[in-house]
Homo-oligomer: A and B are copies of this chain.
Amino acid sequence: MSDESAKKKVTIIVFSGDLDRVMAAFIIATGAASMGFEVVMFFTFWGLNVVKKNEGAIPAQGFLRKMMSRMNRGGTKRLPLSRMDMYSVGRRLMKRFMRQSGVPTVDELMAMAKSMGVKMIACTTSMGVMGVPKEVLRPEVDTVAGVATYLGNASEGNINLFI
């Protein structure tokens, strides 16, 4: 951090919608924010599930999109584990272990991130592909944007992760 020319900035592409990977992303994001880093999170593909509202159905057009929206409902309460999910037994166990270890939930981490100024961006392209309209995104999302916005941000710092 002796380098004056590079900003203290972290960008994280949250591609995964797996509970464990999403937790890692938020733990890094909030940790970095608390250390004074500027932090930008880009939610894309399965990662869009993290920033979908937990309540309400997604208004999808066409039978196939409806089916997909139902199978890939999303919302922080429904994120599976990347391993050992075992039809949701694993994720419930993991949540219990996290609570016992004093680790906040995804919702709590997202609220912390928001209050610390972490910027949350939903990826326009994936929203189109996955059939996710703007209305179903949580209010924590600051804006929707594309790859150019990501690259502009990433080029300003040296900690750029794809999770």
A86 nearest CB across to chain B (Å): 9
Interface string of A89-108 (1 = CB under 8 A from B): 00001101110011100000
B8 touches A5 (CB 8 A): no
Question: Contacts A1-B152, A148-B31: A64 and B158 contacting too (C-beta < 8 A)?
Answer: no
A147 CA / B29 CA spacing, docked (Å): 10
A130 CA / B68 CA spacing, docked (Å): 33
A77 nearest CB across to chain B (Å): 18
Partner-contacting stretch, out of A19-27, A50-58, A113-121, A136-144: A19-27
A84 at interface by CB-CB < 8 Å: yes
Question: Contacts A1-B152, A27-B147, A31-B151: A160 and B163 contacting too (C-beta < 8 A)?
Answer: no
A125 touches B72 (CB 8 A): no
A20 touches B45 (CB 8 A): yes
B17, B125, B160: the one within 8 Å of A158 (CB): B160
A24 nearest CB across to chain B (Å): 6
Inter-chain pairs besides A27-B125, A65-B97, 11 sampled, C-beta below 8 Å: A1-B155, A10-B151, A13-B161, A15-B24, A28-B151, A35-B148, A68-B97, A72-B84, A155-B159, A160-B161, A162-B163
